[in-house]
Amino acid sequence: MNENQKRGSFSGTLGFVLAAAGSAVGLGNIWRFPYLAAKNGGGLFLLVYVILALTFGFALLSTEIGIGRKTTQGPLTAYGKLHPKWGFTGILASLVPIIILPYYCVIGGWIIKYLIAFLNEDLLGTTADGYFGGFITSPVFPIVFFVIFLFFTALVVYKGVNHGIERLSTVLMPILVVLMIGIGIFSLFQRHTDGGVTRTGLDGLKIYLIPNFEGLTFKKLITVIIDAMGQLFFSISVAMGIMVAYGSYVPKKTNLIKSVNQIEIFDTVVAMLAGMMIIPTVFVFQGQDGLSAAGPSLLFVSMPKVFNAMGGIGSLIGIAFFVMVLFAAITSSVSIMEAIVASFMDKFKMTRQKATVVVTVIALVLGLIVCGGYSFYYFDLTLPNGSVGQVLDIFDYLSNNILMPLTAIFTCLLVGWVAKPKSIIDEFSVNGEKFARKGLYIVMIKYVTPIMLVFLLLQQAFNFIK
């Protein structure tokens, strides 16, 4: 048995595309994309996002998948194999999932709790704010549900690429998309009268889709671009080692150009579906003010309030919603853990089973620290972006605002100027395929993308100084 057979591989294009899409369709799309779209002029944000997805996102996604398949290595060793002096980029890329996995699984545990709560109608007669606060500050139950979510994630990764990750993705992804479409259509037919004013789902859809240029300035446009660029990291799962790991499992016979195109389309459609599912519903029952919620407060406070306001059918919609969110969280957490497991397997020559156990123990310890931040040693810390956060927020800020842009910048410099774009283009054309966007790729990976990333990182530095 050769090394590639030991590592495992996807059975074909469909399995790879669904797994990659499952990685991208996570909590970032569900609780961040709708908020950013509502905040940044609705259709204006969508237009900017799609343009960036086809340029900025395309360059990073293609590069990471190409690095993975070319080197057949996880992120920790792939960059060093591409060029011996650039192994530090692999360390950065591997640190990101190590930091994200624990708190992601903690949030996954919260989702399980809320799904059970809607099944048992526990939220009836309670305030969403009080229920959420009471749950996460409990010293026991958040840990219990975190462990359940973590061990299910580990079980899928333990079973391997073909029998674990690919099988999970091919089952859950079609169900997830159907649920999103169903909830999205349902949201369009909602209507609610508050203070003599009637709001409908179609009104919310207009806010989401029609560009709002009111008060648009050059500074505001830059903000929209930066927000859309930041969102793309989550929407296509780049700069966190995942696509390098998944690319390393893609057989040489697979048409990478076709696969990348399909992943781009799938991810963009699902991100837009998340907005269509949430913005009209929140607008109907909470008005324009309700659209300002993002992150955990959107999922665990705003949406339960909406479902309670729907009456009897609200419990059923709440169940469907949290089943959908749970599926999205699982497919993403599996990909995050796989990026670390692949790195440990390749760097330390571990078996998949041993690497999975080691990673699970690391995530368990860090996850307990995250849970304890709300109960055993609660404190408020002001982050550089001005928000007040806890241990979870510290992990999130460090990974998303510092390590991910740094990883992406060094990836662009490595491929654009050291190993040269031809190293990736040749990998995409290994079976004679025509790389139709070759010129665009070279310009983006050498010039435009690194400049945009440096600008994004400088903004974080400015916020820190301010």
Q: How confident is the model at residue 297 (pLDDT cuts 50, 70, 90)?
A: confident
Predicted confidence (pLDDT) per residue in 245-273, tens digit: 999 999 999 999 999 999 999 888 888 88
Check residue 27 and give its pLDDT.
86
How many domains does the structure of the chain reveal?
A: 1
Predicted confidence (pLDDT) per residue in 85-131, tens digit: 999 999 999 999 999 999 999 999 999 999 999 998 887 667 778 89
Predicted confidence (pLDDT) per residue in 211-235, tens digit: 888 888 998 999 899 889 988 888 8
CATH number, position 59:
1.20.1740.10
- The mean of the pLDDT values for the chain is 90
Predicted confidence (pLDDT) per residue in 5-23, tens digit: 567 889 888 899 999 988 9
Whole-structure pTM value: 0.94
**Three state DSSP letters for the chain:** CCHHHHHCCCCCHHHHHHHHHHHHCCHHHHHCHHHHHHHCCEHHHHHHHHHHHHHHHHHHHHHHHHHHHHHCCCHHHHHHHHCHHHHHHHHHHHHHHHHHHHHHHHHHHHHHHHHHHHHCCCCCCCCHHHHHHHHHCCCCHHHHHHHHHHHHHHHHHHCCHHHHHHHHHHHHHHHHHHHHHHHHHHHHCCEEEECCEEEEHHHHHHHHHCECCCCCCHHHHHHHHHHHHHHHHHHCCCCCCHHHHHHCCCCCCCCHHHHHHHHHHHHHHHHHHHHHHHHHHHHHHHHHHHCCCCCHHHHHHHHHHHHHHCCHHHHHHHHHHHHHHHHHHHHHHHHHHHHHHHHHHHHHCCCHHHHHHHHHHHHHHHHHHHHHCCCCCCCCEECCCCCEECHHHHHHHHHHHHHHHHHHHHHHHHHHHHCCCHHHHHHHCCCCCCCCCHHHHHHHHHHHHHHHHHHHHHHHHHHHHC
Check residue 2 and give its pLDDT.
47
Residue-number span of the structural domain to which 250 is assigned: 3-465
**Has residue 388 got a pLDDT over 60?**
yes
